[in-house]
């Protein structure tokens, strides 16, 4: 193999590695809860809202199904970014700004960022 071909192979390998690095193959769930604190009553309200509005696509406890798994995603999105995503939706994810109250969305964020893991400990 010529030096040129070897260089080309190396380059292609690097490009492939960096492209797959862009895909979300991070184990978010292993990162657990964020260190935020929420009023304790938000977890049960958030869980009820989640089961009504989100579990059909994101699975029980955020395990994922049609939509991506949500456990540990508080480390992928800031509170504000995650809230905006839930309010506005994105691609095949519907927005919830008009169907949920702002208290329900507060509680939902508490549940998906921390509550998934609080419930695990019980
Ligand atoms: C009709 C199915 C559906 C429902 C209902 C739904 N989602 Fe989604 N959700 C999706 C899909 C599909 C995506 C991926 C969107 C994309 O590819 O941009 C997504 C993405 C997300 C993301 C970003 C995940 C990531 O890893 O980037 C969050 C957070 C999220 N949804 C939260 C919620 C919450 C909270 C609810 C309930 C209020 C909800 N979703 C209801 C389908 C749904």
Give the residue extent of every domain in the chain: 25-121
pLDDT tens, residue by residue, 40-63:
999 999 999 999 999 999 999 999
Residue 56 Cβ inside 6 Å of ligand 1? The answer reads yes
Spatial CB neighbours of 90, under 8 Å, sequence gap ≥ 6: none
Closest CA to 28 of 73, 64, 63, 58: 73
Give the mutation target among 42, 48, 58 for probing the ligand 1 site: most ligand atoms within 8 A of CB: 58
Whether the CB of 48 sits within 6 Å of ligand 1:
no
Higher-pLDDT residue of 79, 19: 79
**Quick check: helix, strand or coil at residue 90?**
strand
Q: Quote the pTM value.
A: 0.84
Fold of 25-121: Cytochrome Bc1 Complex; Chain D, domain 2 (1.10.760)
Q: Distance from the CA of 34 to the center of ligand 1, in angstroms?
A: 19
Helices 79-88 and 102-110, axial angle in degrees (round to 10): 130
């Amino acid at each position: 193999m010529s030096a040129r071909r070897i260089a080309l192979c190396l380059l292609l390998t690097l490009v492939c590695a960096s492209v797959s690095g862009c895909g979300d193959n991070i184990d978010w769930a292993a990162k657990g809860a964020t260190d935020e604190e929420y009023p304790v009553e938000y977890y049960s309200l958030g869980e009820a809202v989640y089961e009504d509005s989100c579990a059909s696509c994101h699975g029980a406890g955020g395990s994922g199904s049609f939509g991506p798994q949500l456990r540990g995603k508080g480390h992928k999105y800031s509170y504000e970014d995650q809230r905006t995503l839930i309010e506005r939706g994105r691609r095949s994810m519907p927005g919830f700004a008009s169907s949920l109250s702002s208290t329900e969305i507060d509680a939902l964020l508490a549940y998906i960022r921390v509550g998934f893991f609080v419930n695990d400990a019980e």
